[in-house]
Structure 1
C-alpha cells in the first residue's frame, strides 16, 4: 500500500472545518474512507439514518471538497460517492480563532473524533469473540503514564507517527489471506496531579 501523500491529506482551514464539523458528516466521511464508495441509501442503512439526511450531508461534504462522485459507479437513479482524501490534518490554532463559530466547530470536531474512537473500541470489545484467536492475540488495549516536558511529548508523538507510517510501506495487498483493516488510536495529553480528575 502506498504511503499517503500530502495531496491525500487535507489540511483543515476555517471554511472546510465548518463544513466538516457535524457528527453525521464526520461519520459519513469515515465510512467512505474505510469502506469505499457508496450511495446515500447504502450509507443511511449502515449508519441508521434516513437517506434524505445522508443525501443532504453528502452534498455539503462535496461543497467543501471532502467527497465527490465515484467515477463509473453512478447511474441516473443512483449517485455513488467517494472520499477525496485519506485523512485530514487539524491545526490547533483553529481552537483560538477570532471567530467564535470557528472555535465551536473546532471543539465539536475534536469531541466527535474522540467519540468515534470510543465507538470503535466499544464495537471491538462487543464483537471480539467473532474474530479468530490470532487476532485476539494481536490486539492491544493498554495505557501508559510518563513524566515528560512538552518538547519530549512532541518528540514521542513524532516517533509514533513515523513508526506507523513505516508500516504503510509493509502493508500487503488487500486480497492477501488474513489481511484486515486495523485501527490504531493514539492519545497523548497531560493529566492533573493535584488529586482532581477533571470531571467537576
Structure 2
C-alpha cells in the first residue's frame, strides 16, 4: 500500500523510516477511537497481534458481543481489518492495519467541532491513564522477573529549562534514539522481552 496524506483515504499512513506504518489520525478516526473499549482493542491488537473477538473479550474482561461490535466500528474507520488467513471455519480474526498512530494535538484542541475537541481530550487522558497502569503493573510484578531485568529498568524524571523549540528538538532526538533500537533483537532471542518506554515532555510553572 503506498504512503498517503490524503484526508479522504480511510487508512492514511506514513512510514517512520522503517517498515512500520504509522497512522496519521484525522478528525474522523479520532472520533472512532474516542471510546474506552475501542481504544483498548486497538492498543491490544497492536501490542499482541491478531486475535478473535472472543480472545480479545477474555483478555479485556468484555463480552465477545461488545468486542465484535466495536471491532466493526474500528474496521469502518480503516483502523483494523480481517485476517482471513488465520481463521478456521466461521472464526473471524482481526488485526490492526497500522503499527502506531500520530497526531498534532493542537490541530484538534482548536478544532471548530466541540465533539472533536472532546475526543482529543478523552484520548490524551486515557493514554496517560494507560501509561500509569502499565508502570504500576510492572512495580507490582517485578519480583516475578529474572534479576537481570530487575536491574535493567528505570524510573527517572528530569528538570530542564528549555524553550518550546528545544523541547521539540529533545523529543525528536529521544524518539530517534528509540527507533534506532527497534527490531535489532530477533523475536526468539533468549532472555529478551518487549520493553515499554514512555516519553513525557511538558512545561511546569516556576512557582
Is the structural similarity TM-score above 0.5?
yes
What is aligned with 2:145? 131
Contact 1:96 1:103 (8 Å CA) reproduced: yes
- More helix by percentage: 1
C-alpha distance in 1 between matches for 2:178 and 2:20: 19
TM-score, normalising length from structure 2?
Answer: 0.88
CA gap of 1:129–1:3, structure 2 versus 1, over 3 A, is farther
Q: Which residues of structure 1 form unaligned runs of 5+? A: 195-200
**Larger RCO, structures 1/2 (Cα 8 Å, 6+ apart):** 1
What is aligned with 1:75? 88
Pick the aligned partner of 1:33 from 43, 46, 58: 46
Runs of 4+ in structure 1 displaced over 6 angstroms? none
Query: Is 2:90 the partner of 1:87?
Result: no
CA RMSD of the aligned region, Å?
1.6
Query: Is 2:141 the partner of 1:101?
Result: no
Contact 1:4 1:86 (8 Å CA) reproduced: no
- Deviation per residue, 1:133-164 (Å, 9 max, x gap): 10111111111111111111111111101111
What is aligned with 1:165? 179
C-alpha distance in 2 between matches for 1:120 and 1:178: 21
User: What is the count of residue pairs matched by the alignment?
Assistant: 192
- Deviation per residue, 1:164-191 (Å, 9 max, x gap): 111115x211011112111000000001
C-alpha distance in 2 between matches for 1:122 and 1:4: 32
What is aligned with 2:74? 61
C-alpha distance in 2 between matches for 1:29 and 1:41: 15
Pick the aligned partner of 2:164 from 150, 159, 175: 150
